[in-house]
Chain A
Amino acid sequence: AQSVTQLDSQVPVFEEAPVELRCNYSSSVSVYLFWYVQYPNQGLQLLLKYLSGSTLVKGINGFEAEFNKSQTSFHLRKPSVHISDTAEYFCAANGNAGGTSYGKLTFGQGTILTVHP
């Protein structure tokens, strides 16, 4: 079964500092990777996704992520964060490990990013 691990449960940073949120996934025959953001009391919104091709993926709000197959990682980065980036971030994987996954997203545990002034 697919599994996703987010290594940090909380990441505090100061405004305008760079940030990296770490995500590792269990290997699969093929895997598609996603980062979602959840603002307080709201649903999840897609930040970016990796399907194939270039390993550096750019998303909304200045975020980007790099797919690293050898390290089975998909870390999320932003060079300069803003107060409004304070939210919970979820890494998710959807893969086909011998069968049809039918869109069964597997989520990591979430990382709370808190941006301080």
Chain B
Amino acid sequence: DTAVSQTPKYLVTQMGNDKSIKCEQNLGHDTMYWYKQDSKKFLKIMFSYNNKELIINETVPNRFSPKSPDKAHLNLHINSLELGDSAVYFCASSPGTGSHNEQFFGPGTRLTVL
């Protein structure tokens, strides 16, 4: 069984469109994250939710809006897509917010904005 799953795996879209990426974890974890991996493979955290509450919000454009309907799901909605949004987006989860916790990553969603 997949622990952290993301859909879609690939997303190709035009500039200006709005798109969503979905993430689900079946590990019973309380905390979920979104990371962006750019073309140079650099990984940076974007958001984190703990029990549906936003706890980390890095300096991300407000075109990006995460939503957590329950603690097993964390979706990412992106408005007015720009070329620079092209990247691989990874969802992750962990048992809690403690720094010692291992984070479990999904397979990634490769977003290409044309």
Report whether chain A binds chain B.
yes
Q: Mark B71-100, 1 if CB is under 8 A from A, else 0.
A: 000000000000000000010101011111
Q: List 15 A-B contacts (CB under 8 A).
A: A42-B107, A42-B108, A44-B43, A46-B104, A49-B100, A51-B100, A90-B43, A102-B97, A103-B31, A103-B98, A104-B45, A104-B56, A109-B41, A109-B42, A110-B43
Which of A41, A44, A88, A94 is in CB contact (< 8 Å) with B99?
A94
Which of B56, B90, B105, B108 is in CB contact (< 8 Å) with A102?
B56
Separation in Å of the B101 CB from the closest CB of chain A?
6
The yes or no answer to A72 lying at the interface (CB within 8 A) is: no
A107 touching B102 by the CB < 8 A rule? no
**Given the interface contacts A43-B4, A43-B90, A44-B90, does A103 sit within 8 Å of B103 by beta carbon?**
yes
B102 touching A88 by the CB < 8 A rule? no
Known A32-B99, A103-B99, A104-B48; 6 more pairs at CB < 8 Å: A43-B90, A96-B99, A100-B97, A103-B48, A103-B96, A110-B41
Complex Cα distance A41/B9, Å? 10
A49 touching B97 by the CB < 8 A rule? no
Q: Tell me the A residues contacting B by CB distance below 8 Å.
A: 30, 32, 34, 36, 41-46, 49, 51, 88, 90, 94-96, 100-105, 107, 109-110
> Residues of B contacting A49 with CB < 8 Å?
100, 102
Separation in Å of the A102 CB from the closest CB of chain B?
5
> Residues of B contacting A44 with CB < 8 Å?
43, 90, 92, 105
> Residues of B contacting A41 with CB < 8 Å?
108
Complex Cα distance A94/B98, Å? 9
**Given the interface contacts A43-B90, A45-B105, A102-B48, does A107 sit within 8 Å of B99 by beta carbon?**
no
Q: Mark B50-74, 1 if CB is under 8 A from A, else 0.
A: 1000011000000000000000000
**Most chain B CB within a 10 A radius of its CB, from A36, A44, A88, A109:** A44
Chain A residue at minimum C-beta to C-beta distance from B103 = A105
> Residues of A contacting B41 with CB < 8 Å?
88, 109-110
B100 touching A94 by the CB < 8 A rule? yes
> Residues of A contacting B106 with CB < 8 Å?
43
B44 touching A103 by the CB < 8 A rule? no
